[in-house]
Amino acid sequence: MGMSEDTPGIVVTGVSGRMGQMLVRVIRESGRARLVGAVERAGHDWIGRDLGEAMGGAPIGVTVTDDPLQAFARAQAVIDFTAPAATVEFAALAAQARAVHVIGTTGLSDDDLARIRAAARHAVIIRAGNMSLGVNLLVQLTRKVAAALDEDWDIEIVEAHHRHKVDAPSGTALMLGEAAAEGRGKPLQDLRDPAREGITGPRQRGHIGFAAIRGGDVVGEHDVIFAADGERIVLRHVATDRAIFARGALRAALWGQDKKPGEYDMLDVLGL
Ligand SMILES: NC(=O)C1=CN([C@@H]2O[C@H](COP(=O)(O)OP(=O)(O)OC[C@H]3O[C@@H](n4cnc5c(N)ncnc54)[C@H](OP(=O)(O)O)[C@@H]3O)[C@@H](O)[C@H]2O)C=CC1
Ligand SMILES: O=C(O)C1=N[C@H](C(=O)O)C[C@H](O)C1
């Protein structure tokens, strides 16, 4: 089945990674976009190889490159789940190529975020620490529950991920923390209690605590706990398949095609 030239062409960065390979499968199966490029870091042993063969299957006619600008110039969108330094560089290059940049990368510093914001003056950037429908709905629920309850209810965010994850708290935990803080009408930086250790003293009223578990092949689990005297509410999301993130990212890339330059998130994409 041929795909029309009008179908958006997408480049996947970090294509050999867990999310990179999942994105390739989801894009190719979707019938709604063409995979037109695949980027890996210079020196990676997939560079110069056919992507399908590198992934252990039949050739697909896309050669893995370490030249992002050349790849982006042929695309309408770039989907990027890599690492902070790479994502900041890709934001500038995608803006130069006027391609929609979908960013799933987490662990971004304030400086990284400022540089991404600068790139969004010239192009559409859609960024979220979690691209799944379920988590973005949970973000909205968390904001509502936090707004409905007073500070007698302690808020704790507990997340679990696979042993390879390099950043904590997860991007999702930070999204949930920001929503809870918004519900309380304060910025998260004023309320945030990082992971506890040692003689910490009693919990501070109104603060939002974070805890992270790392192990095995856990795809991603997040609990938002509202704990009061005599009762507890737990809002939970459990991811069992990375395809949920890839499907969300593809949806964002298509949604972004007719939007004005600026920074957007998955709540915009999903209309939540
Ligand atoms: N927003 C969301 O919904 C989700 C976000 N994530 C986030 O996505 C990111 C990636 O996760 P995951 O796929 O598990 O991680 P992986 O380590 O499996 O993949 C990252 C890939 O990016 C590559 N990479 C790093 N730097 C560059 C560069 N300069 N140029 C090209 N490629 C580069 C890595 O190459 P190398 O191995 O050589 O370093 C690797 O192949 C993380 O930040 C994670 O938290 C993950 C899932 C969902
Ligand atoms: O690194 C991961 O795997 C994931 N990262 C995102 C995060 O930091 O929240 C999203 C998802 O939980 C998987």
Asked if residue 1 has pLDDT above 80, the reply is no
- The protein residue with its alpha carbon nearest to ligand 2, atom 4, reads 220
Q: Is residue 3 part of a domain?
A: no
CATH of the domain at 178: 3.30.360.10
**Cα–Cα distances in angstroms (integers) from residue 177 to residues 103, 193, 201, in the given order:** 20, 10, 22
Long-range contacts: 18-25, Cβ < 8 Å, 24+? 18/164, 18/242, 19/81, 19/104, 19/242, 19/245, 19/246, 20/81, 20/82, 21/55, 22/242, 22/243, 22/245, 22/246, 23/79, 23/81, 23/246, 23/249, 23/250, 24/51, 24/55, 25/243, 25/246
Does residue 161 line the site of ligand 2, with CB under 6 A? yes
Q: Is residue 1 part of a domain?
A: no
Could you list the active site residues?
161, 165
Parent domain of 162:
133-240
pLDDT digits (tens, 9 = 90+) for 77-130: 999 999 999 999 999 999 999 999 999 999 999 999 999 999 999 999 999 999
CA of residue 87 to ligand 1 center, whole Å: 9
Probe residue for ligand 1, chosen from 13, 41, 242 as the CB with the greatest number of ligand atoms within 8 Å: 41
ipTM of the complex: 0.99
CATH of the domain at 257: 3.40.50.720
Q: For Cα atoms 164, 115, 183, give the angle at the middle one, nearest 5 degrees.
A: 75
Question: Could you give the CA distance from residue 116 to residue 92 in angstroms, rounded to a whole number?
Answer: 8
- The protein residue with its alpha carbon nearest to ligand 1, atom 23, reads 14
Q: Is residue 4 part of a domain?
A: no
Q: What is the pLDDT of residue 165?
A: 98
pLDDT digits (tens, 9 = 90+) for 185-238: 999 999 999 999 999 999 999 999 999 999 999 999 999 999 999 999 999 999
257 and 213 belong to one structural domain: no
- Nearest partner of 269 among 144, 257, 77, judged by Cα: 257
- Nearest partner of 260 among 123, 127, 93, judged by Cα: 123
Please state the atom number of ligand 1 nearest to the C-alpha of residue 131.
3
